[in-house]
Amino acid sequence: MKAAVVHDFTQPLVIEERPVPDPAPHQVRVRIEASGLCHTDIHAARGDWPVKPNPPFVPGHEGVGIVEAAGAEVRHVRVGERVAIPWLADACGRCDHCVSGWETLCTRQHNSGYSVDGAYAEYALAHGDYVVPVPDGIDPLDAAPLSCAGVTTYKALKVSGAGPGTRVLISGIGGLGHLALQYARIAGAETIAVDVTDDKLALARELGADHVLDARVHDVAAEVQKLGGAHAAIALAVSNASFQAAYAALRRGGSLVLVALPAEGKLELPVFDTVLNGTKVIGSIVGTREDLAEVFQLHALGRTRVIRETRHLEDVNTCFDEVLTGKVSARLVFDLR
């Protein structure tokens, strides 16, 4: 099978022929149809974060495909079923986080395309209990971005407290942000979209943002404060300056939800203002299997639109450049069918 492999954090990915893998008793083998390119894959391939993957590895955690073989212990999915392989490859299933619906905080988790090989390949192995069924009628090319960009922002909106009567700032209208904006609207919030490219600002308008700010020319915090300040700000841009602006855009009692993970990510908080304003700062990491099932259900109901362009896996390195230079409409998806 064909796979895109990271051998070195400073070198391009290499397209390789690898043997088709056989599932262990708890695993399924998935024939990948669609595999989304999340900005996290770029961080992974470059070793951007304090906890690094071990090369060689295959990135990709927005994998969608058909279960082709299942180990003897797999109970919850069948051969022939379409499933998603998300970031949470598996977790211990028994710790207090796992049993309280916070499996994404399990300290014994593995991560697809990071600590275990992911979906930048024609086939991938996955834990039978942690793949998420994709309902009939959802295009696999849509299901792929929903498996990380969708579930991550859906969860971020949930923890932000966004709802009717709230004003929500979405900072960064990329792969994650274009879906965050839609979930904020579904939640009933007034929405403010921020980006730094003309195409993304136009996309935000097209998706119905109530206010659109260009961080290149606007003082984002000042403009949002003129509206009364944001009840919640969702930080999705790979830029430390954007975190500071999102913090400063909050109203009293507001929540800053940190999602983007820039290399050397830092946020300086004034303690006095944070205390007196009752500001909440929340880190949010992907979402659970249940969150992803809800994301798929919303999409099947026609409530969300995935903006994506397809690419060939062979072009993975130029695709990374396209994302880094902001040339992508929202999400790139490798079509492996």
Q: Select from 126-134, 145-153, 272-280, 289-297 the region that touches ligand NAD (CB under 6 A).
A: 145-153
95 makes contact, choosing from Zn ion, ligand NAD, none, with CB < 5 to 8 Å by partner type, with: Zn ion
For Zn ion, which is the closer residue by CB, 134 or 230?
A: 134
39 binds ligand NAD (CB under 6 A): yes
Peptide bond connecting 56 to the previous residue in cis, omega within 30 degrees of 0: yes
**Pairwise CA distance, residues 123 & 21, whole Å:** 7
Choose which of 29, 167, 185, 200 interacts with ligand NAD (CB under 6 A). 200
3-state SS assignment for residue 249: coil
**Pairwise CA distance, residues 281 & 74, whole Å:** 39
Choose which of 90, 122, 195, 291 interacts with ligand NAD (CB under 6 A). 195
Residue 283 near residue 235, CB atoms below 8 Å: no
Largest CA distance in the chain: 60
Instruction: Identify the H or E element spanning 256.
Output: strand 250-258
Contacts (CB under 6 A) with ligand NAD, residues 111-140: none
Choose which of 34, 38, 67, 328 interacts with Zn ion (CB under 5 A). 38
261 binds ligand NAD (CB under 6 A): yes
CA 10, 311, 16, 174 torsion: positive or negative?
A: positive
Tokens of 153: 């922002």
For ligand NAD, which is the closer residue by CB, 69 or 329?
A: 329
241 binds Zn ion (CB under 5 A): no
For ligand NAD, which is the closer residue by CB, 128 or 254?
A: 254
Q: Give the residue nearest to ligand NAD (CB).
A: 174
Q: Which residues pair with 335 in a beta bridge?
A: 34
92 binds Zn ion (CB under 5 A): yes
